[in-house]
Amino acid sequence: MRHIHFIGIGGVGMNGLAQLAALSNCSVTGSDRGYDPDVEPFRGLKKLGIQIFPQDGSGIRADTQHVVYSTAIESDNPDLVSAKERGIPPLHRAEFLKELIGDSELIAVAGTAGKTTTTGLLGWIFQCLGKDPSVYNGAAVLNWKTEGSLGNVRKGSSNLWIIEADESDKSFLSFHPTHSIITNISKDHYELNELHRMFDQFESQTSGTTIRGLSGIFVIFLNSRTDPYVIAMLGQHNLENAGCAFALCDKLGMDMKRVCEAISQFRGIERRLEIVSETAGVTIIDDYAHNPAKITAALSAVAEAYGNVHAYWRPHGFTTLFEYQEDLIRVFKQAEPTSLFILPVYYAGGTVERKTTSSEFVGKLNSAGIPAMLVPDYAALKYGLEQRAKPGDAILGMGARDPELPLFAQKLVAEWKTP
């Protein structure tokens, strides 16, 4: 049995690959700096028989055939060093995914924002219409998430794959899809001119149909349709995401009545404006928003639905906070949430340059007339939210990478206004 080891197996991209490898009859191990056997995704990975090691090289065995890594893994990572010493070839996560897909038909979804929701929705539609696809997604489809399944991947029996393609490290250019969707393009990871060049290349590598969301042709097409599709998700941006999936299905000649039924049954994506629960009349919402475009969309959607929004955000990196702080200041000034709390920058270890801090960012927000508050930890955040949120209001949590974010949203529900 082929043995594959995944470095950083708890990451949103890596845990999905590990699951697919296990479901493809590989022997799978992994390592992660933030390993905690009592939280997801680690619990779900262990249920698949995946053994998880400290990130110290101990998980690399004599029979390990490949070590899968992401761009975020440093060259001196102990697992990578151990693999090189043993002569085991490292394999980038995009290359491993390409290997799993092989010669199958491929639908790839890319874009600055909305690709996770669109990928999950497409997978759900194709499943509902009996296409039985394999799906690789960046977060759990709530329709698929169960006690026994993490819900972010699906291993089907057909010769069809639907994947979320990541532009952050240009790895999406490794793929040559049969069909593709580009949801939208805005500044993130690269400057706009470079992003447009990359996405143009991605489209040129697509052999069949490409749907470009928010383009003139796309908007005219949607306005000309009489097929009504209704979504259960908050936000105009999710109507647009559903429109991308709808447009591709139409181009592929699918039964659009059944497609609309599937769209209406789609419950959404974990941590994509996910309504965690309501407590004491206050609605708790959890979202992955981490860049200006996604934060704008999240704040707008929740404000439209609830009015008063008490928002908190955890920056996921020192460099990204430094590079996008002016855009972020404009976003928060325009949105004017009722309350705004900023947590410290999330740091998961490794070598990083601390170009700025949350404290400095809050100072700039305050100077711009935005009454943001720095909170040192989740206990202080909980206290601040409890003092301000009233029945009928919404609390919106935002941020990427930190596994404590979704746990905190659940804790708010369970322990509202208790010591």
Weakest mean pLDDT among 14-23, 149-158, 188-197, 297-306: 188-197
**Residue percentage of the chain with pLDDT more than 70:** 99
Residue 380 burial (C-beta neighbours within 10 Å; 0-12, 13-18, 19+): middle
Is the pLDDT higher at 71 or at 241? 241
Domain 3-94 shares a fold with domain 274-414: no
pLDDT for 356 equals: 95
Confidence check: pLDDT of 226 > 80:
no
Q: What is the pLDDT of residues 193-207, one digit of tens each?
A: 999 999 999 999 999
> Domain 103-265 carries which CATH code?
3.40.1190.10
DSSP 171: G
C-alpha dist (Å) from residue 342 to 278, 332, 334, 379, 410? 22, 11, 17, 13, 19
Weakest mean pLDDT among 6-20, 178-192, 286-300: 178-192
pLDDT for 45 equals: 96
Closest of 292, 293, 314, 320 to residue 72, by C-alpha:
320
Q: Are residues 393 and 308 in contact, defined by beta-carbon separation less than 8 angstroms?
A: yes
State the average pLDDT over residues 336-361: 91
Length of the chain in residues, anyone? 419
Say how far apart CA 97 and CA 108 lie, in whole Å.
12
| Residues contacting residue 248 through CB under 8 Å, at least 6 positions apart | 107, 122, 179, 181, 209, 211
Q: What is the pLDDT of residues 247-301, one digit of tens each?
A: 999 999 999 999 999 999 999 999 999 999 999 999 999 999 999 989 999 999 9
pLDDT for 220 equals: 79
- Vertex 163: Cα angle to 162 and 167 (nearest 5): 150
Residue 367 burial (C-beta neighbours within 10 Å; 0-12, 13-18, 19+): exposed
Domain ranges of the chain: 3-94, 103-265, 274-414
Tokens of 142: 């709530």
Q: What is the pLDDT of residues 27-75, one digit of tens each?
A: 999 999 889 888 889 999 999 999 999 999 999 998 999 999 998 899 9
pLDDT for 335 equals: 95
Does domain 274-414 bear CATH number 3.90.10.10? no
Confidence check: pLDDT of 377 > 80:
yes
Say how far apart CA 63 and CA 68 lie, in whole Å.
15
Closest of 142, 148, 162 to residue 266, by C-alpha:
142
337 prior amide bond cis, ω within 30: no
What's the CATH superfamily of 3-94?
Answer: NAD(P)-binding Rossmann-like Domain (3.40.50.720)
C-alpha dist (Å) from residue 104 to 9, 28, 133? 25, 23, 10
Confidence check: pLDDT of 418 > 70:
no
Tokens of 202: 């991605």
Q: What is the pLDDT of residues 85-122, one digit of tens each?
A: 999 989 999 999 999 999 999 999 999 889 999 999 99
Confidence check: pLDDT of 221 > 90:
no
- Whole-model pTM? 0.88
Say how far apart CA 147 and CA 122 lie, in whole Å.
23
Tokens of 313: 């955000």
